[in-house]
Amino acid sequence: MERLRYAALALALLSTGGGVALSATAPPSPAAQGVEGDLATARMLAAMLQSARGVVSAHQSEINDPATGDKHLPGRRVLAEAVDRFRAQTGLDPNAVDPKSYAGRLLRAQMDAIIEVMDANQTTINQEGVGFKGFIPATFARLVNEAFERRVGGEASIKVTAPLPLVRNRQSRPDPWEVATIADHFETANWPKGELFSQVTGEGKNQRVRVAVPEYYAESCLSCHGSPAGELDITGYPREGAKLGDLGGVISIQLMPQ
């Protein structure tokens, strides 16, 4: 189901991205194409972030191993594994998205950011004799989003935030739109689990497409975010007392195509 939706969106995206009309029958209106394309772009950016975070998570015990030095996790390798996961999740090849299109530019900036953050943290993760190094998926994702912002900040931004009582890093606090999205949509009883929320906000040159993707706690999150509430986890933060399946965070994407 999820794959099909990606495929349909990708088709819409790829067929509009090339700028070549394949048939003379009435195409969707430019506005409809725009929103559809932006949603496809946002889904891809969220999927790439999740994929890369998943790679770091899969290698967490190696990263935390005090007995080995070189973990053999340079940026290129992490990106290659992230692309494999992205393909499995979406059925799309990120390298096939036209690099000159808006989506293609953003996706490449994000992939470059993944490489940059891994390469910049080699000394940390390859340090022998130290177990836990603080290099965890959430921190990695925040650094990737910051590196993305440095590349294409005028065109798009990606942030991982959370319901206010859960926020650990002050930089990740939700803005008013994110607070409202969480309260009025994601935390309502009938919100379909995993469904994103999107809205066009602002006017003129402040107009942007905002997309929020909810994320839920899995078993693997609870060693840090679970119980007993208040007791410090391995990272030194107090545990939130969260439960499996609770809303744990939101990937918040802003698109400002020019």
User: Does 122 sit near ligand HEC (CB under 6 A)?
Assistant: no
- Give CA–CA dist 157/223, Å, rounded: 30
**Token pair of 227, please?**
């119980």
> Nearest approach, Cβ of 113 to ligand HEC (angstroms)?
15
Hey, how many other C-beta atoms are within 10 angstroms of the C-beta on 66?
12
DSSP structure class, residue 27: P
Q: Say how many residues touch ligand HEC, by CB under 6 A.
A: 26
> Nearest approach, Cβ of 47 to ligand HEC (angstroms)?
15
- Give CA–CA dist 61/165, Å, rounded: 29
Binding segment for ligand HEC (CB under 6 A), chosen from 31-39, 73-81, 103-111, 133-141, is 133-141
Q: Which is nearer to ligand HEC, 55 or 103 (CB)?
A: 55
> Nearest approach, Cβ of 63 to ligand HEC (angstroms)?
11
Q: Hey, CA dihedral for 13, 17, 23, 29, is it positive or negative?
A: positive
The only residue of 139, 177, 256, 257 in contact with ligand HEC, by rule CB under 6 A: 139
- Give CA–CA dist 199/135, Å, rounded: 33
User: Does 55 sit near ligand HEC (CB under 6 A)?
Assistant: no
Q: Hey, CA dihedral for 37, 39, 41, 43, is it positive or negative?
A: negative
Nearest alpha-carbon partner for 2 in 84, 124, 89: 89
The only residue of 75, 225, 253, 255 in contact with ligand HEC, by rule CB under 6 A: 225
SS3 category, 206: helix
Contacts of 61 (CB under 8 A, 6+ apart): none
Residue 238 — φ and ψ, nearest 5°? Answer: -70, 135
Q: Which is nearer to ligand HEC, 183 or 237 (CB)?
A: 237
Q: Hey, CA dihedral for 242, 246, 247, 248, is it positive or negative?
A: positive
Opening angle at CA 15, ends 9 and 20, nearest 5: 165
Q: Which is nearer to ligand HEC, 45 or 136 (CB)?
A: 136
User: Does 174 sit near ligand HEC (CB under 6 A)?
Assistant: no
The only residue of 169, 199, 201, 207 in contact with ligand HEC, by rule CB under 6 A: 169
**Per-residue mark of binding to ligand HEC, 181-220 (x: CB under 6 A):** ----------------------------------x-xx-x
> Which residue's Cβ has the minimum distance to ligand HEC?
249
Identify residues 58-117 at the interface with ligand HEC (CB under 6 A).
none
Q: Are strands 197-201 and 208-216 parallel, antiparallel or unpaired?
A: antiparallel
> Nearest approach, Cβ of 123 to ligand HEC (angstroms)?
19
User: Does 136 sit near ligand HEC (CB under 6 A)?
Assistant: yes
Give the binding site for ligand HEC (CB under 6 A): 136, 138-139, 142, 160-162, 166-169, 172, 215, 217-218, 220-221, 223-225, 233-235, 237, 248-249
